[in-house]
Amino acid sequence: MSRIGKLPINIPAGVSVTVKNNLVTVNGPKGTLSQEIHPNISVEIKDGVCTLNRINDEKENRAMHGLYRSLINNMVEGVSNGFKKTMELVGVGYRVSSQGQVLEFALGYSHSIFLKVPNEVKVETKSERNQNPLIILESCDKQLLGQVCAKIRSFRKPEPYKGKGIKFQGEVLRRKAGKSAGK
């Protein structure tokens, strides 16, 4: 039995989970999410607890059991609490500003980079004196939030020598020693 797949999902108050034709829909105060489930996985909802079962112990079904349990759990957590990621820009002259859902980055290139963020993701930028600029992203969809963060990070990944680039707040970078001085 899958260790993760057999764990029950507690459904908090204010959140409803419905299953219809292998489509799981989760409604909550933060939004609505839906996920299509493979036909070999069944979803049961009883007394505020959601459980997933598989039809047999084939390798593919065992793998999907834990996967779909994690996806549904993330959906329930997202519509009830939401997910939040904070990224910081480390580097001299690195700036970010937001106009609605469009982010404008100045990252040391000869041009500015513009990124239109999906409407499901709430964006906020902070620029305070003597501190690194911050980008605060919030959403109920964990996958979409991670995808947007990965796209932002790809503009200027943190480098190991000075630590310059776009990184998650609190992330510890593995640093390297530079060239050693003359003998």
Distance set, CA 21 to CA 35, 37, 68, 113, 170 (Å): 11, 9, 15, 43, 42
Q: How far apart are CA 10 and CA 33, in angstroms?
A: 17
Q: Residue 34 CB: number of other CB atoms within 10 A? A: 12
Q: Enter the tokens of residue 172.
A: 């510890």
What is the reported pTM? 0.88
CA-based nearest residue to 136, from 145, 144, 30? 145
**Residue 180 pLDDT:** 79
Say if residue 75's pLDDT is above 90. yes
Residues whose CB falls within 8 Å of the CB of residue 164, separated by 6 or more in sequence, listed in order? 90, 91, 94, 156, 158
DSSP structural state of residue 135: E
| C-alpha distances in Å from residue 164, one per residue of 91, 112, 128, 168 | 5, 17, 18, 12
- Sorting pLDDT into bands at 50, 70 and 90, what band is 179? confident
Confidence of residue 3 (pLDDT cuts 50, 70, 90): confident
The domain spans of the chain are 9-80, 83-168
Mean pLDDT, range 85-91, rounded to an integer: 95
Given a contact cutoff of 8 angstroms between Cβ atoms, the answer to whether 35 and 71 are in contact is: yes
pLDDT at site 5: 86
Q: In whole numbers, what is the pLDDT of the chain averaged over residues? A: 92
CATH 3.90.930.12 for domain 83-168, yes or no, is yes
pLDDT score for 161 = 92
Average pLDDT of the segment spanning 160-170? 93
CA distance 168 to 88: 6
* Per-residue model confidence as pLDDT tens digits over 38-71: 999 999 999 989 999 999 989 999 889 999 999 9
Residue 155: the pLDDT is 95
Residue 183 has pLDDT above 70, yes or no: no
pLDDT at 2: 66
1 confidence band (pLDDT: 50, 70, 90): low
Per-residue pLDDT at 79:
95
**CATH code, residues 9-80:** 3.90.930.12
Provide the pLDDT for residue 87. Answer: 96
